[in-house]
Amino acid sequence: MFCFKSAVVTGSTSGIGHAIALAFAKEGANVVLNGFGDAGEIEKIRAGIESEFGVKAIYSPADMTKPQEIEEMVRLGEKTFGSVDILVNNAGIQFVSPIEDFPVEKWDQVIAINLSSAFHATRAAVAGMKARGWGRIINTASAHSLVASPFKSAYVAAKHGIAGLTKTVALEIATDGITVNCISPGYVWTPLVEKQIPDTMMARNMTREQVINDVLLKAQPTKQFVTVDQVAALAVFLCSDAASQITGTNLSMDGGWTAE
């Protein structure tokens, strides 16, 4: 589907971003990987994509808190592959604290990585997409782009901001052959979430099943985690010709969380 297309996927060395990068590569797209992690593991991921899918994959260590590095990441993709046709703004972090105790530096970091990085990457990529008359921008939002939870002020603010940024940019470039959408998952089953379970079991004196159903999945009526492959499949669809008239939307994938 995506032969001769190239994608930049931020936060793609693990979790949702990794699944999206793999899904694009499977469809024939060259990919720019980005994210933190062990250098050897990242190289293994990069080389594995090339060998399994027969596409080109490169890695950018761009820090999502640094605008210049974000722009350089996009330029690296353009220089290496000739274009950046698909941009997935996926990088994100979380920090939980009551507002009166919320560290200022953590607020700044969450806003920078979860929101401002999407602005900087989009700003850098749009001109090339306009020149080619085709582009797809997908922002990873969250159920928290639509609803709030206590103690997550920075994360909720950033994800609401992502939803607004998506709508605004979509309207600006609606006649340029470029779509801009965001995907808002509920709780997604990732290694990061799985690692939280034992600590929560101990802290709350709960069984594994209780933690999953009464804590993590409390807000999701289906009582099932979203999978990274499901998010990736939606991202692939949004890049297809069938989705060319879907733009400026916030697509919920949350097991019914925001329907309540």
Catalytic site positions: 155
Q: Report the alpha-carbon distance of residue 136 to residue 146 in Å, rounded.
A: 22
Give the number of residues written for the chain.
260
| Token output for 53 | 């899918």
Residue 67: φ, ψ to 5°: -55, -40
SS3 labels along 234-256:
HHHHHCCHHHCCCCCCEEEECCC
Closest by CA position to 86, among listed 43, 47, 55, 42: 55
DSSP, res 174: T
DSSP helix/strand/coil, 188 = strand
Q: Report the alpha-carbon distance of residue 171 to residue 6 in Å, rounded.
A: 23
Cα 203 → chain centroid: 30
Q: Report the alpha-carbon distance of residue 36 to residue 93 in Å, rounded.
A: 12
Residue recorded with tokens 């806003």: 111
Rg, C-alpha atoms of the chain:
18
Q: For 177, what's the count of Cα atoms within 13 Å in the CB-facing half-sphere?
A: 12
